[in-house]
Structure 1
């Protein structure tokens, strides 16, 4: 089976400092892969190369076997990649439902090559997506008044509107209460595994990582220093030294 995502030898340098230094990994359909490490380890830089915000200085990114290295984010989106961000990216003046409609319209343009301006377009599908992430009861509320945890769930619905084969989630639970973090990732894992969506996520909450990841990769100073099953990574002496510390227990 062809991996959904293949990163090979990714390098990104700023001046003489290599923020990402030779990172390689693969991601299978339906797999939840966590990328963790200290602040400044290179996680966001790596994400931005995968999603086209940054062009690698070296290395390749393949999606379903196709080389997408250096493609623009909009072109990568149209290949079936969803993305959520550390700071939520929603339209604050629009309702929850209209935000999801906007994402669905973008997906429809990819499929149909045109915009369809009908007022009721895709409302049912938008409502179904909101139901899946637990936001159906807030469909008519403006995004500008939502609690932060609800914005995170809405952003997930917008990413799912692209019917992705790959979902990139950069600190998906940042700013949320502990119970909300676990609930959001439980929803994400259930949706991804049922639909065969590959998920790569960064996260500082180790309860989220070790409860939901199938595999964990550890970055330190731009290099992968460990990887494997959550229990093995948790017990790795080097990982405990550079990142987990007391959190390992």
Structure 2
């Protein structure tokens, strides 16, 4: 497998709080890598440094060998990093198709002439992405009336609009019913492996993590304390002590 994302010595402090301390890892094409840890471990800070929302105090972030450390989010997006958020971010007044069209327009960086409606742009491409996530039949519905699980699928289609090589997913199954969680993660894993997309996701649901991650990395108080295949991480005494607890050791 080829390495898509390389992180070396990443660090960030806020005043006297060292949120992330010398974190390093890599994600391969087609791999599902889970980033877990207790509240305050530094997961969100780490994520926000990867896509440019925060600038690291130290360390390097490389995408396919290119240094993207500290680049602003719009540049990172156009280089092929997609992202989904814990709280879905869609335009409620727009149709499902129009939401995807907006993402495609953003990626293309095109300015439309005033006499050409944006709704005429990238229709076929938007429909193809919606079909990929199982939302083709809902293309003309206003997104504000979608069920929550369908909103998550729409957000995934939007995140795929820039043909990402890396997909960052922040709590992708938050607020979803158990069956919907399984369906979304199976869909994501299938797309990732088919297209060679590297996926890094945070998640509090350990059933989701251990069922769908190829590898797991664990943060605690900003430090990387464990990395490896799910069985090895589950058996790690330090991970058990700071996060998993006895109830999940043999689950």
- When normalised by structure 1's length, the TM-score is 0.95
Paired residues, number: 246
The 2-side partners of 1:65 and 1:115 are apart by 33
Specify the alignment match of 1:85 in structure 2: 85
Give deviations 1:4-56, integer Å, cap 9, x for gaps: 11111111111111111110001111111000011111101000000000000
Specify the alignment match of 1:37 in structure 2: 37
Specify the alignment match of 2:49 in structure 1: 49
The 2-side partners of 1:241 and 1:233 are apart by 12
Query: How far did 1:107 drift?
Result: 1.8
- SS of the aligned residue for 2:120 comes to coil
Unaligned runs of at least 5 residues, structure 2: none
Query: How far did 1:120 drift?
Result: 2.5
Note the aligned Cα RMSD (angstroms): 1.3
Unaligned runs of at least 5 residues, structure 1: none
The 2-side partners of 1:203 and 1:136 are apart by 27
- SS of the aligned residue for 2:21 comes to strand
- How do 1:181-192 residues align onto structure 2 when only pairs under 5 Å count? 181-192=181-192
Paired residues of 1:27 and 1:33 also in contact (CA < 8 A): yes
Query: How far did 1:247 drift?
Result: 2.4
The 2-side partners of 1:136 and 1:70 are apart by 37
Query: How far did 1:114 drift?
Result: 4.6
The 2-side partners of 1:156 and 1:85 are apart by 10
The 1-side partners of 2:147 and 2:21 are apart by 38
The 2-side partners of 1:33 and 1:138 are apart by 30
- SS of the aligned residue for 1:4 comes to strand
Specify the alignment match of 2:12 in structure 1: 12
Paired residues of 1:2 and 1:65 also in contact (CA < 8 A): no
List 4+ stretches of structure 1 deviating above 3 A.
113-119
Specify the alignment match of 1:202 in structure 2: 202
- SS of the aligned residue for 2:39 comes to coil
Specify the alignment match of 1:247 in structure 2: 248
Paired residues of 1:56 and 1:69 also in contact (CA < 8 A): yes
